[in-house]
Amino acid sequence: MSEVRRRYKTPDSARAAVTDQLRMLAQDGRWRLGDLQRQYAYDQLVERLYRLDSKWVIKGATALLARRVSVRHTIDIDIYRPGQIVDVERMVREAAALDIADWMRFEVAQSRPVQAAGAEAARVGLRSFIGTKLWAAFQVDLVADGVVMIGEPDEVHPLTALNVGDREHTLWRAYPLVDHVADKVCAILETHGGRPSTRYKDLIDLVAITQQSSVPADLQRRAFVKEARRRTLTLPKSFDVPDVELWTRGYRSEARRTVGLQAVELEDALKLVKPFVDPLLAGPVAGRWVPENRSWELVD
């Protein structure tokens, strides 16, 4: 096996170079240095996954970060790959052990099963190191067989532009936006043992998505129907949170932790999201969502 060619001769020099660049980004951007360090670790892990094969799909808040529409950081990364969950976890461990000349290494903890609305899923803790020094710790939520996508994954760039490895980073495959939106809407509407959902962050994400992204109406409605069927959920005729008093407090608390979110009160958030969701719940809609006009329109 050929020797790995490294841009930096020591892990300390690599760590210093990456930290300096991230510190500059933190001064000029929306994310703190600690957030950017974790994002860099996500980049290095995902690059290793794509060195194995191209079937990985990035989900959750990390996908929104990669789409550059997120208003919040996340301390975990959601990853989907078709297959049995035991095989997907094995591949993550295999990828984490790869040396791609970035001086980063990963320690992977034992996994535990988690619920994922009909899909096989597991959560595993990771710690990243550059040399012997801890860089960032985070969780990986793995999802395997049981996911059905209406849309096609989109190619997106990694979270940071930094690369000290042996070749250019691979573009990511992000979970289709129509499926992502359907996940969030249904998660808000869904009850658990008779208890209302408290997925406040999902509403925050819906505000950000509907203000910055365009999706086709037909695919979005199909994604709603698919996701509701998967969760055995009956879709209402209009969108609302399950408990206004609970959500007023909970949403406000989470919204105050965001960066650049325009709607920090529940009432304002619903005013922004309902024009997107309600027409789709009421029946078929033509056209695309136009975020500038906050309406579904026929677009040439």
Are residues 193 and 156 part of one domain?
no
β-bridge mates for residue 195, sequence order: 192
- Position 3 scores a pLDDT of 60
Are residues 151 and 33 part of one domain?
yes
H-run or E-run covering 106? strand 104-113
- Position 246 scores a pLDDT of 98
- Position 1 scores a pLDDT of 42
Mode of pairing for the β-strands spanning 133-143 and 76-80? parallel
Which of 142, 174, 206 lies at the terminal end of a domain, its last residue?
Answer: 174
Average pLDDT of the residues in 161-176:
90
d(CA 126, CA 40): 14
d(CA 80, CA 85): 10
Closest CA to 22 of 34, 9, 8: 34
- Position 118 scores a pLDDT of 77
Are residues 206 and 167 part of one domain?
no
Question: Is 80 exceeded by the pLDDT of residue 165?
Answer: no
d(CA 300, CA 288): 10
What is the count of structural domains for the chain?
Answer: 2
- Residue 3 maps to a domain: no
Which of 117, 152, 174 lies at the terminal end of a domain, its last residue?
Answer: 174
Say how many C-beta atoms besides its own lie within 10 A of residue 46's C-beta.
23
d(CA 120, CA 85): 6
Are residues 198 and 91 part of one domain?
no
CATH of the domain at 66: 3.10.450.620
Are residues 99 and 36 part of one domain?
yes
End-to-end CA distance of the chain: 54
Residue range of the domain that includes 94:
11-174
Question: Is 80 exceeded by the pLDDT of residue 300?
Answer: no
- Residue 121 maps to a domain: yes
Give percent of the chain above pLDDT 70.
Answer: 99
Helix, strand or coil, per DSSP, at residue 50:
helix
Are residues 191 and 152 part of one domain?
no
Angle of helix 244-255 relative to helix 266-282, nearest 10 degrees, comes to: 120
Contact 109, 131 (CB under 8 A): no
Are residues 134 and 202 part of one domain?
no
Which of 137, 155, 174 lies at the terminal end of a domain, its last residue?
Answer: 174
d(CA 257, CA 38): 17
Tens digits of residue pLDDT in 228-286:
999 999 999 999 999 999 999 999 999 999 999 989 999 999 999 999 999 999 999 99
Question: Is 90 exceeded by the pLDDT of residue 92?
Answer: yes
Q: Please report the sign of the dihedral spanned by the C-alpha atoms of residue 113, residue 129, residue 46, residue 259.
A: positive
Question: Is 80 exceeded by the pLDDT of residue 2?
Answer: no
Are residues 205 and 272 part of one domain?
yes
Are residues 60 and 194 part of one domain?
no
Closest CA to 150 of 70, 230, 69: 230
Tens digits of residue pLDDT in 11-60:
999 999 999 999 999 997 789 999 999 999 999 999 999 999 999 999 99
- Residue 1 maps to a domain: no
Contact 153, 174 (CB under 8 A): yes
Say how many C-beta atoms besides its own lie within 10 A of residue 104's C-beta.
27
Helix, strand or coil, per DSSP, at residue 120:
coil
Tens digits of residue pLDDT in 103-139:
999 999 999 999 877 789 999 999 999 999 999 999 9
β-bridge mates for residue 129, sequence order: 105, 134
- Residue 130 maps to a domain: yes
The per-residue b/e assignment along 15-44, b for 16 or more CB within 10 angstroms, e otherwise, is: beebbebbeebbeeeebeeebbbbbbbbbb
Are residues 151 and 30 part of one domain?
yes
Question: Is 70 exceeded by the pLDDT of residue 183?
Answer: yes
Are residues 129 and 181 part of one domain?
no
- Residue 5 maps to a domain: no
Are residues 281 and 181 part of one domain?
yes
Locate 71 and state its tokens.
């208003």
Average pLDDT of the residues in 214-238:
96
Q: Compute φ and ψ for 108, nearest 5 degrees.
A: -110, 125
